[in-house]
Amino acid sequence: MDDDSAGHGTYLTVPVFPLPNVVLFPKTFLPLHIFEMRYRAMVGDALACDKLIAMTLLKDGWETSQESEPPVFQIACVGKIKQSEKLEIGRYNLLLYGLYKVRLLTIQPSAPYRSAEVEVLRDIAPVPDHEKQHRESLMQLARKLMPGRVSSLIEDISLLDEMDYESLVNTLAMAASLPMHRKQELLELESIDRRAEFLITFMEQLADIREFFQTLPYITPNDPHDN
């Protein structure tokens, strides 16, 4: 099976990597540093097989959960290891590429890490007219508001120009300064256009907030020693 050839409704069994602060999207890259023993084993097994890992978000309350395997969200993203470096101390540096969104079905508490049967999900294709309009808005807002955050995921923000629409939308979803539960909601949306519309609204609101604060006068204290 090619990297991106799994159709909607395809079933796979993959290891599960739950994190509290990462939501992976299809057609995006994610650098990872793997240090925990059970996930070192997971990476070793994945590298020896098909290099696939399902990234999923831990649900709120995981910090105080008494369960050894706290609950995770059902909708996740399967990524493929594109680059790997095994360090002398047994840890790994990875570059994971998001392939497709999945629904976790049966999760097996396999020692030492979880694995799951997953169903591949495909987003609804964009409307061509919407795609052109959304792309222009997203590019303009991203250059204005998020150059640093985008550059933390890709080498240069100019690379956005070369991306297809889905890659652009999902890369900006990864880069956006949103709470993790909001990013999870974005991943769960079934339409790329709806995901783009959410991001445009979010960035327009962010731009309005920045412009508002720029209009406030600077206040200089009478005594320069006052703060």
Weakly modelled stretches of the chain, pLDDT under 70? 1-5, 61-68, 149, 151-156, 208-227
Name the average pLDDT for the chain: 86
CB 63 within 8 A of CB 19: no
Question: What's residue 225's pLDDT?
Answer: 53
Q: Estimate the crossing angle of helix 128-145 against helix 165-175, to 10 degrees.
A: 40
Q: Estimate the crossing angle of helix 192-215 against helix 180-188, to 10 degrees.
A: 150
Give the separation between CA 112 and CA 114, rounded to whole angstroms: 7
The one-character DSSP state at 124 is B
Q: Which amino acid is at 76?
A: A
CB 149 within 8 A of CB 50: no
CB 166 within 8 A of CB 192: yes
H or E element that contains 101: strand 92-108
Question: What's residue 208's pLDDT?
Answer: 66
Q: Which amino acid is at 36?
A: E
Question: What's residue 31's pLDDT?
Answer: 94
Question: What's residue 161's pLDDT?
Answer: 85
Question: What's residue 60's pLDDT?
Answer: 83
H or E element that contains 34: strand 29-34
Domains of the chain: 11-121 (2.30.130.40), 128-215 (no CATH)
Question: What's residue 212's pLDDT?
Answer: 46
| pLDDT tens, position by position, 60-111 | 865 655 566 789 999 999 999 999 999 989 999 999 999 999 999 999 877 7
C-alpha to C-alpha distances, 88 to 38, 85, 214, nearest whole angstrom: 17, 10, 49
Handedness of CA 99, 186, 93, 157 (dihedral sign): positive
Reading the block at residue 29, the tokens are 């890259």
Closest CA to 102 of 75, 139, 135, 81: 75
pTM for the whole thing?
0.84
CB 73 within 8 A of CB 56: yes
The one-character DSSP state at 218 is P
C-alpha to C-alpha distances, 191 to 76, 167, 215, nearest whole angstrom: 16, 14, 37
